[in-house]
């Protein structure tokens, strides 16, 4: 077969392959894992243009001065990475595109974000109706470190990041679900709790200790591993969710399924700051 003809057909096959892949992603809903809903139409339209061009390259006349094309193997890269990307289980990957709105706010360029907006937030996606974080104010921490938890298998609630992650786990629970977390706090219980449940909490200091807010996280462990109230512990847990009932109705909250509970000394300064 003529080499030029082979190349032409190969390029046409790539264009049609891209069209087919995008069509499959769009029809299966997989496209929404990678892009924002408003972009889907434009992407499918682009794929349509590629398909038409592919057909034209297959059956239509070609200008004799067509420039040489080679190195087609690179066009396989996206297919490989899309396949790997389908194993991704976090929030829509489009959340990581564009500018981190908190970064915009931090540098004084303005932001249209509302409240918390670290790098991992699902930008432009409405919050779940059941997201709730008690009465804790929603101010954003302005610590210099703003890691994206997508890169973390284990999320550590460090002192500086405690309030940020605490807020995030309520606001964007699905971002944490299935991940391991490590945090320190003191233990508390409520009379309504099941025997294997307790909470680990820190207090948020705004201006003085009198108005410090409680930042509790519900934990479930083996009955034998439930520590006594007031004890400071470090827990390792996997984030799950559960429904709890209160005066305001039933709501879904994060539940930390403890894999390890260690007693630790109380820190010298027990409070965390919002910024």
Partner 1 sequence: MTESETPRSFNLAHAVIAVYIGLALAAVVLLGPSLAQPATALVALSARYASLLLTTLPLVVAASLWSAAVNLIPLRASSTSTLRCVLQPLPIDPRLSGQRPRHPAGLAASAAWHPLTLVAVAVAFGVNSGFTLFFVVFSAVVVSVAALTWRRLGGSAIVDGGSARADAADKPLSADTPPATRFSDMLSTELYHRLRLTVLGLLIVVAIHVATPPALVRFFTAHPAVSVLATVLLAFLLSMPAEVAPFAAALFFGTTSHGAVLAFVLVSAICPARALLPAWNATGAARASVIRSSLGFALAATALIVLLTLPISDFAAGGLW
Binding segment for partner 1 among 55-63, 157-165, 183-191, 243-251 (CB under 8 A)?
A: 55-63
Task: By CB under 8 A, name the one of 74, 194, 208, 210 that touches partner 1.
Answer: 74
Binding segment for partner 1 among 41-49, 128-136, 163-171, 221-229 (CB under 8 A)?
A: 41-49
203, two tokens = 């207090």
Q: How many CB atoms lie within 10 A of CB 220?
A: 17
Task: By CB under 8 A, name the one of 53, 212, 238, 244 that touches partner 1.
Answer: 53
CB closer to partner 1, 123 vs 201: 123
Count, residues near partner 1 per rule CB under 8 A: 68
61, two tokens = 């006349």
> Should residue 153 be labelled a site residue for partner 1 when binding is judged by CB under 8 A?
yes
Q: What is the CA radius of gyration of the chain?
A: 25
Instruction: Return all residues near 224 (Cβ < 8 A) that are at least 6 apart.
Output: none
> Should residue 171 be labelled a site residue for partner 1 when binding is judged by CB under 8 A?
no
Least distance between partner 1 and beta carbon 55 (Å): 10
Nearest to 134 by CA among 165, 166, 174: 166
Q: Which of residues 101-140 bind partner 1 (CB under 8 A)?
A: 101-104, 106-112, 119
> Should residue 42 be labelled a site residue for partner 1 when binding is judged by CB under 8 A?
yes
For tokens 């077969």, what's the residue?
A: 1
Least distance between partner 1 and beta carbon 140 (Å): 14
Nearest to 213 by CA among 222, 228, 224, 202: 202
Instruction: Return all residues near 25 (Cβ < 8 A) that are at least 6 apart.
Output: 31, 34, 82
Task: By CB under 8 A, name the one of 16, 51, 100, 187 that touches partner 1.
Answer: 100
Task: By CB under 8 A, name the one of 2, 3, 29, 71 that touches partner 1.
Answer: 71
Nearest to 187 by CA among 95, 258, 248, 250: 258
Task: By CB under 8 A, name the one of 13, 58, 93, 205 that touches partner 1.
Answer: 93
Task: By CB under 8 A, name the one of 9, 13, 23, 35 that touches partner 1.
Answer: 35
Residues 168-195, buried b or exposed e (16+ Cβ, 10 A)? bbbbbbebbbebbbebbbbbeeeeebee
Euclidean distance between CA atoms 219 and 257, whole angstroms: 6
Question: How many helices and strands in the chain, by DSSP H and E?
Answer: 6, 7
Binding segment for partner 1 among 143-151, 199-207, 234-242, 245-253 (CB under 8 A)?
A: 143-151
> Which residues of the shown chain bind partner 1 in the complex (CB under 8 A)?
11, 15, 22, 31, 33-36, 39, 42-43, 45-47, 49-50, 53, 56-57, 60-67, 69-71, 74-75, 77-78, 81-85, 87-88, 90, 92-94, 96-104, 106-112, 119, 145-147, 150-151, 153
């Amino acid at each position: 077969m003529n080499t030029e003809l082979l190349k032409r057909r190969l390029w046409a096959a790539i264009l049609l392959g891209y069209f087919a892949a995008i069509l499959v992603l769009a029809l299966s809903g997989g496209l929404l894992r990678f892009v924002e809903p408003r972009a889907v139409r434009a992407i499918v339209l682009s794929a349509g243009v590629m398909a038409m061009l592919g057909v034209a390259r297959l059956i239509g006349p070609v200008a004799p001065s067509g420039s040489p094309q080679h190195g087609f193997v690179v066009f396989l890269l996206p297919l490989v990475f899309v396949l790997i990307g389908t194993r991704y289980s976090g929030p829509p990957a489009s959340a990581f595109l564009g500018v981190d709105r908190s970064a915009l706010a931090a540098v004084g360029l303005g932001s249209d974000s509302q409240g918390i907006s670290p790098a991992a937030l699902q930008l432009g996606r409405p919050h779940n109706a059941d997201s709730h974080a008690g009465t804790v104010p929603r101010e954003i921490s302005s610590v210099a470190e703003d890691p994206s938890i997508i890169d973390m298998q284990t999320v550590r609630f460090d002192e500086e990041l405690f309030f940020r992650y605490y807020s995030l786990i309520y606001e964007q629970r699905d971002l944490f679900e299935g991940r391991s977390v490590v945090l320190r706090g003191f233990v508390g219980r409520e009379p309504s709790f099941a025997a294997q449940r307790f909470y680990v909490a820190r207090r948020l200091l705004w201006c003085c200790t009198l108005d410090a807010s409680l930042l509790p996280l519900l934990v479930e462990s083996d009955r034998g591993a439930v520590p006594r109230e007031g004890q400071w512990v470090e827990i390792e847990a996997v984030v799950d969710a559960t429904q709890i009932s209160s005066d305001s109705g039933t709501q879904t909250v994060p539940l930390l399924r403890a894999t390890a509970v260690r007693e630790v000394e109380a820190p010298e300064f027990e409070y965390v700051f919002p910024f």
